[in-house]
A and B are shown apart, each in its own frame.
Chain A
Amino acid sequence: DVKVTQSSRYLVKRTGEKVFLECVQDMDHENMFWYRQDPGLGLRLIYFSYDVKMKEKGDIPEGYSVSREKKERFSLILESASTNQTSMYLCASSSLLQRNEQFFGPGTRLTVL
């Protein structure tokens, strides 16, 4: 089974802190994605990556950065967390060979105080 894991299920940080959210997949997928999910807004794409060291901005990249140094790992970085970044963060991976069906991690619920 494809497995996508995220470093934390719940995270509480203070305003201004630097926050790292880690995502690891074990299926050798080329593509990896970070979304945030807010009530009534669905899933919004923050950043995605289709290869190591490659990244593309999604629809809401402001306030975020990403890193992909290894194929299996995709990190989301909040350089200076703000309260409006309190949200559920979902990581996903996919492969063109599997019609790009996305496999999701369990999510990280981030609260910024």
Chain B
Amino acid sequence: AQKITQTQPGMFVQEKEAVTLDCTYDTSDPSYGLFWYKQPSSGEMIFLIYQGSYDQQNATEGRYSLNFQKARKSANLVISASQLGDSAMYFCAMREGRGSTLGRLYFGRGTQLTVWP
């Protein structure tokens, strides 16, 4: 079974609008972390935001926020006031807290976001 599921291969949003990128995860480990990365067309992976499983509040980093719904195993990324430079591939990832595999991330297949003027 997929550990991370991103159901939107592509999303389109108009500049200055907000957009939500979906991510659901599957784990039985009570301790885990969730990450979002951005990959522009240049190819580098840019870390955006992190949410720990025990964090009480949703993580925010500037225009990025993570809508963490633990019971639904959902960790959607919300980008407010989209900009043309937000056009990129976005990956959701999860770390589980287990032994020697501690540290590996499970990635989703990504969502290609296109921001249009």
Contacts and interface: CB of A to CB of B under 8 A. Distances in A.
B80 to A, nearest CB: 22
Contacts of B101: 56
Contacts of B100: 50, 56
A99 B102 contact: no
Contacts of A44: 107
A50 B47 contact: no
Interface in A50-102: 50, 56, 58, 88, 90, 92, 94, 96, 99-102
A50 B45 contact: no
Contact of A45 (B47, B91, B102, B104): B104
A25 interface: no
A58 to B, nearest CB: 7
Contacts of A106: 43-44
Nearest to A104: B45
Range, interface on chain B: 20 to 34
Contact of B109 (A35, A41, A90): A41
Range, interface on chain A: 20 to 34
A30 interface: yes
A17 B2 CA distance: 34
Nearest to A101: B47
Contact of B110 (A42, A50, A56, A101): A42
A96 B103 contact: yes
Contact of A43 (B33, B102, B103, B107): B107
Given A41-B109, A48-B104, A106-B43, 18 more contacts: A40-B9, A40-B109, A43-B107, A45-B104, A48-B103, A50-B100, A50-B103, A56-B104, A58-B104, A88-B43, A90-B45, A92-B45, A100-B33, A101-B47, A102-B47, A102-B93, A102-B105, A107-B43
